[in-house]
Amino acid sequence: MPRKTAGPMKSNTFKIKKGLDIKLMGEADKVVAESNHSSVFAIKPTDFVGVIPKMMVKAGEEVKAGQALFYSKTDERVKFSSPVSGEIAEIVRGEKRKILEVRIIPDASNSFANFNADTNSVDGIKKALLESGCWPFIRQRPYGVIANPDHTPKSIHVSCFDSNPLGPDVNFVMRGQEEAFKKGIEILKKMTSGAVHLNMSAEPGAEKSFESAEGVQNNYFSGPHPASNIGVQINKIEPINKGDIIWYCYPQEVVTIGKLFSSGQVDMTRIVALTGSRVKNPKYFKTTVGAQIKALTDANIEEGDNRVISGNVLTGQNTGTDGFLGFYDSQITVLPEGNQHKFFLTDGWLSPGLSKKRFSMSKAYPSWLFPNKKYDLDTNINGEERAFVVTGQMEKVFPFDIYPMHLIKSIMYNDIDEMEKLGIYEVDAEDFALCEVVCTSKINIQEIVRNGLENLRAEMA
């Protein structure tokens, strides 16, 4: 059924048929609570693909919220700023002195750096975004990296829902932030010669928080995960060819951009969903980018051996409670670790397949008879790496018009011509997360795809 939009543009509806919804226990209740005070915050250069940081501050130095901490070695204009005001506590380094974290101890004043947020020209907009550290919120396809300020994108896409396991309800998260979102969309519209696409769930009412945006292209998606992945949405709306550049971001990032141009300050406040079967009281928290995760999980996790993930179970990072909320994350997931051995006759590989506790795409287990059942899954991958063989399982969960097995193999032996022919410009690592779940070979497919994209980008530079 056609939908009406705010503005002259016509809406489109797309149905995703291939994919897989993994229903887990521990969905967040529709309640927003203030998180405990985080005693330390951190910005992690490892959150930014391909960025080699060059420090602009030293340990012991005082900074304001929005003040630059480091810039990208490959483009000095792209800066990364502090989410809070306070003192630089430590610059954490790893092997070969690689910078892993810049930690800030917040002060009580939470003072902000002020920026001249000029909206009269595209150059003025880009300058404000670059100087304030808000530019990294804008990423591009192909490659899934921070956008190049020198480019003008074909279009800009904003994914307005989350179909990942236990993903936050974006419509709920955005309540009360409509004006800042509208302002952010107005800014994005000035940076492209094409359309700004709002890609929303086709579920009734899912567009409520986005109705204020005008002059945009509304698109509606239904079907299983990965319906919310930006790569899937772009593939269905305007597939990327060699030479095309499309920018994208997410609603809370648009809100941060909108607040910058409304107040001249960088407000990295974020609503985060604390989810997972090991969380006593799953709910939403109001916090800030880079907060220490223990400030959100304190006294709210079941005892035992747990895995704490910044992000979702498919693409998030295992940080533990001492880790920090990722720059692009709006979810924390806590699951039981899967480090216990399973007896092969009862719940292992030789079990008769009668257990209702096992989730599987295979009809050898009865999970396919209970499509709405929620599972308390752990992190056990039930096996080790083995021969990479054709099973046909990946094609069932990969909604692109691409042969995933062939593309992965071309990446593994680094045949760039073949990678291009097989559609590598349309994908990012996250698009292969479900392929990794159903892969009987237990291969780290997302890592392979990410490395392939980086090799391709270096070759094309």
DSSP 17-42: -S-----BS-PPEEEEEEPPPPS-EE
CA atoms of 28 and 227, how far apart (whole Å) = 20
What pLDDT is stored for residue 345 in this prediction? 44
Whole-structure pTM value:
0.93
Extract the tokens encoding 186: 């107005």
Q: Is residue 205's pLDDT more than 90? A: no
Q: What is the dihedral of CA 74, 137, 28, 220, to 10 degrees?
A: -120
Report residue 365's pLDDT band, with 50, 70 and 90 as the boundaries. low
Q: What percent of the chain has pLDDT over 70?
A: 92
> CB neighbours of 313 closer than 8 A, spacing ≥ 6?
22, 24, 164, 165, 166, 333, 335
- In the 8-state DSSP scheme, what is residue 112? B
Extract the tokens encoding 206: 């899912």
Average pLDDT, integer, range 369-376: 82
CA atoms of 263 and 66, how far apart (whole Å) = 12
User: Mean pLDDT lowest for which of 247-261, 328-342, 393-407, 426-440?
Assistant: 328-342
Average pLDDT, integer, range 202-210: 88
- Segment 300-316, tens digit of pLDDT: 999 999 999 999 999 99
What pLDDT is stored for residue 380 in this prediction? 87
Average pLDDT, integer, range 346-359: 55
Extract the tokens encoding 126: 């880009």
CA atoms of 385 and 379, how far apart (whole Å) = 15
What pLDDT is stored for residue 7 in this prediction? 43
Q: What is the mean pLDDT of the chain?
A: 92
Average pLDDT, integer, range 107-134: 95
Q: Is residue 66's pLDDT more than 90? A: yes
CA atoms of 76 and 53, how far apart (whole Å) = 10
Report residue 207's pLDDT band, with 50, 70 and 90 as the boundaries. confident
φ/ψ of residue 181, rounded to 5: -65, -45
What pLDDT is stored for residue 354 in this prediction? 47
What pLDDT is stored for residue 341 in this prediction? 66
What pLDDT is stored for residue 311 in this prediction? 98
Among all chains, which residue has been given the structure tokens 């000095």? 76
Average pLDDT, integer, range 235-259: 97
Question: Which is more confidently placed, 353 or 195?
Answer: 195
What pLDDT is stored for residue 2 in this prediction? 41
Average pLDDT, integer, range 221-232: 98
User: Mean pLDDT lowest for which of 37-51, 369-383, 418-432?
Assistant: 369-383
Q: Is residue 194's pLDDT more than 60? A: yes
- Segment 271-284, tens digit of pLDDT: 999 999 999 999 99
What pLDDT is stored for residue 8 in this prediction? 43
Report the run of H or E that residue 451 belongs to, with start and end: helix 445-460
Which residue blocks in 140-245 are alpha helix, DSSP H?
170-173, 178-189, 230-237
What pLDDT is stored for residue 1 in this prediction? 40
Q: Is 174 left (phi over 0), alpha (psi -120 to 50) or beta?
A: alpha
Q: Which residues make beta-bridge pairs with 281?
A: none
What pLDDT is stored for residue 4 in this prediction? 40
